[in-house]
Structure 1
Amino acid sequence: MTLNVQFMTMIVMIISGFYLGIIQETFRRFKPHWKDNRFLVYFMEVAFWLSQVLLVFYVLFLVNAGELRFYVFLALFLGFSIYQAVAAPLYKWLLEHIIRIVVTCYRFVERLIQILIITPIKYMIKLFVTIVLLIVQFIMTLLLFVAKVIFFPIKWIFYTIYRLLPRNIQNFFHKLAGFYSTIKNIGKKGMKYLKFKRR
């Protein structure tokens, strides 16, 4: 390698070491979120360091075609040490502020979506269900009223005829009336259920 390439390699590796300090600090900051899952801890550690090694080697490949020399590791260590000595406290403070801003923005957007989209949809669904129940209740009430109007004179005629019938036939119609009463009670319970759901 020429001196120019070696010099560029050292500068780039110092910057890469500084970058490793930053990215490692960021990784450690988010590590508590998955520390309870041992498998995820191992997976994230391996994936993180493998990706960073490949990234640094790719940068080295772009600079000097991937030639590894002792001073490359020294330059990386120097860049990492510069970060730890000079920039670590400032970056930690900056990282916490960035996280706080991102979390605040996320909560604001989440609340905005809740207010502008989710809540109106819930109210619209609730209103639709209420209207449907009201319509069903109105139709059932109307049908019951019509049935009473239609069957009242018929009931009176049948009652008059019933009083003139023999006892055994009266017993048969008495059982039939019990079945009608059961159906009527089921209808009343259905109406009460619809009223309860509407509330």
Structure 2
Amino acid sequence: MTLNVQFHTIFMMFLSGIAIGAIFDVFRVLSGKLRLPRWTIPFIDMVYWIVATILVFRLLIYSNEGQVRVFIFLGMGIGICFYFAFLSTWIIRLTLLLIRITIAVYRFIAKTVEIILIKPIIGLYRLTVIILGFLLAVAIFLYRIVLQLLYPVWRLLLWMTRPVHKYFVIPVWLKKLKGNIILIFRRLFSK
């Protein structure tokens, strides 16, 4: 292994130490902001270590074909210390800013969907209900007027056919119809 490869490997492990620290801070901020249940913490830790291990070994394979040496851990340790000394607060602020931007975009999209889609649909539904209610009220009103206009005609018809009732047999369905009509008129005029 040449000296150039060793310096390249130390630099890559330095970068992987910075990346491990950044991933740690992002996971920590996200788990704090999302208020995840306590039972998910071991799962999140496991995901963090899997991601960190894959990252380190991918960089190690890229830099020196996967050979593990003592200076690799030294480079990672220096990278982690450098990150927490100089970059941690910036990454946390950046993560919080991205969370705020994401929430603001989500609220904007939700409000836009509400204004453009949901409110017009609700307005159309309410307008339809009002129009149908109005038409129903008009239909009931006209129905009552027609019944009131026909009532004297019906009484006249009954009066004119009274002599016929005495001499002819009236079909049963006509008697029921007469009873139903009289019942409807009584209900209408009793109110």
Q: Shorter-chain-normalised TM-score: which range? A: 0.7 to 0.9
Cα shift at 1:151: 4.9
In the other structure, the counterpart of 1:104 is 104
In the other structure, the counterpart of 1:35 is 36
1:51-130 maps to which residues of 2 (within 5 A)? Answer: 51-130=51-130
Report the TM-score, using the length of structure 2 for normalisation: 0.74
For structure 1, the 5+ residue unaligned runs are 167-171, 189-199
Report the TM-score, using the length of structure 1 for normalisation: 0.71
**Matched residue type, 2:25:** E
**Matched residue type, 1:180:** L
Structure 1 residues 133 and 61: CA distance shift in structure 2, 3 A: farther
Segment of structure 1 superposing worse, 15-24 or 87-96: 87-96
Between the aligned residues of both structures, percent identity stands at 26
Q: How many residues align?
A: 180
State whether structure 2 residue 154 is matched by structure 1 residue 154. yes
**Matched residue type, 1:112:** T
Task: Find the structure with the greater CA-based Rg.
Answer: 2
**Matched residue type, 1:61:** I
Residues in 2 aligned to 1:56 and 1:72: alpha-carbon distance in whole angstroms: 10
Q: CA RMSD in A?
A: 3.4
For structure 2, the 5+ residue unaligned runs are 167-174
Matched position secondary structure for 2:95: helix
Structure 1 residues 21 and 164: CA distance shift in structure 2, 3 A: same
Residues in 1 aligned to 2:99 and 2:118: alpha-carbon distance in whole angstroms: 26
Cα shift at 1:138: 3.2
